[in-house]
């Protein structure tokens, strides 16, 4: 059961990002869901690293979001082989979606 709690968020995030990337990709290109889940996993590893480096400095959420955006765009550009502009568009949509979800959760829970 604990493994399920670790795997499911990556699969859900991967499916959402796959849909976004699929919309931004050129017509006729095939993008594997597993490739996108791999990008999400690497993004999680990168996030752990940069939060470990920036945590002593008490980085603001905006800096964290900008780093998240930049790393995601570079991963999409490098691993999924999107054009740089399409990688930026896909990263912007993904980060905006999850930033909006975070705001809603923060507003509802009050935390």
pLDDT surpasses 80 at 69: yes
What are the backbone dihedrals phi and psi of residue 5, each rounded to the nearest 5 degrees, phi first?
-70, -20
Neighbouring residues of 70: CB distance < 8 A, sequence distance ≥ 6: 91
**Spatial separation of the C-alpha atoms in residues 93 and 104, rounded to whole Å:** 17
Whether the Cβ atoms of residue 80 and residue 35 lie closer than 8 Å to each other: yes
According to the model, what pLDDT value does residue 7 have? 85
According to the model, what pLDDT value does residue 58 have? 62
Residue where the block lists tokens 């590893």: 45
What is the pLDDT of the chain when averaged over all its residues? Answer: 87
**Spatial separation of the C-alpha atoms in residues 52 and 21, rounded to whole Å:** 28
Confidence of residue 57 (pLDDT cuts 50, 70, 90): low
pLDDT surpasses 80 at 60: no
pLDDT surpasses 80 at 1: no
């Amino acid at each position: 059961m604990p493994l399920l709690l670790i795997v499911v968020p990556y699969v859900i995030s991967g499916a959402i990002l796959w849909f976004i990337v699929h919309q931004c990709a050129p017509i006729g290109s095939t993008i594997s869901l597993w490739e996108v889940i791999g990008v999400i996993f690497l993004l999680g590893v990168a996030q752990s690293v940069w939060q470990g480096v920036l945590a002593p400095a008490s980085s603001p959420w905006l800096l964290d979001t900008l780093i998240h955006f930049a790393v995601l765009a570079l991963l999409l550009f490098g691993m999924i082989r999107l054009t740089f502009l399409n990688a930026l568009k896909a990263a912007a949509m993904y980060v905006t979606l999850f930033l909006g979800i975070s705001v809603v959760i923060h507003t509802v829970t009050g935390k």
